A and B are shown apart, each in its own frame.
Chain A
Amino acid sequence: DQQVKQNSPSLSVQEGRISILNCDYTNSMFDYFLWYKKYPAEGPTFLISISSIKDKNEDGRFTVFLNKSAKHLSLHIVPSQPGDSAVYFCAASLLSGNTPLVFGKGTRLSVIA
Chain B
Amino acid sequence: KAGVTQTPRYLIKTRGQQVTLSCSPISGHRSVSWYQQTPGQGLQFLFEYFSETQRNKGNFPGRFSGRQFSNSRSEMNVSTLELGDSALYLCASRQGLTNTEAFFGQGTRLTVV
A interface, CB within 8 angstroms of B: 6, 9, 32, 34, 36, 41-46, 49, 89, 93, 95-106
Contact = CB atoms under 8 A, between A and B. Distances in A.
B56 A45 contact: no
B98 A43 contact: no
B40 interface: yes
Interface of B: 4, 6, 33, 35, 40-45, 48, 55-56, 58, 90, 92, 97-98, 100-107, 109
A89 to B, nearest CB: 6
Contacts of A105: 40-42
A44 B104 contact: yes
Q: Interface SS of chain B: helix, strand, loop or mixed?
A: strand
Given A43-B90, A98-B55, A98-B56, A34 B101 contact: yes
A49 B103 CA distance: 13
A95 B98 CA distance: 6
Given A42-B106, A44-B104, A95-B100, A100 B45 contact: yes
Contacts of A97: 98
A104 B35 CA distance: 12
Given A41-B106, A43-B107, A103 B48 contact: no
Contacts of B105: 43
Contacts of B45: 100-103
Contacts of A93: 100
Contact of B56 (A36, A96, A99): A99
Contact of B4 (A34, A43, A95, A103): A43
A31 to B, nearest CB: 10
A35 to B, nearest CB: 11
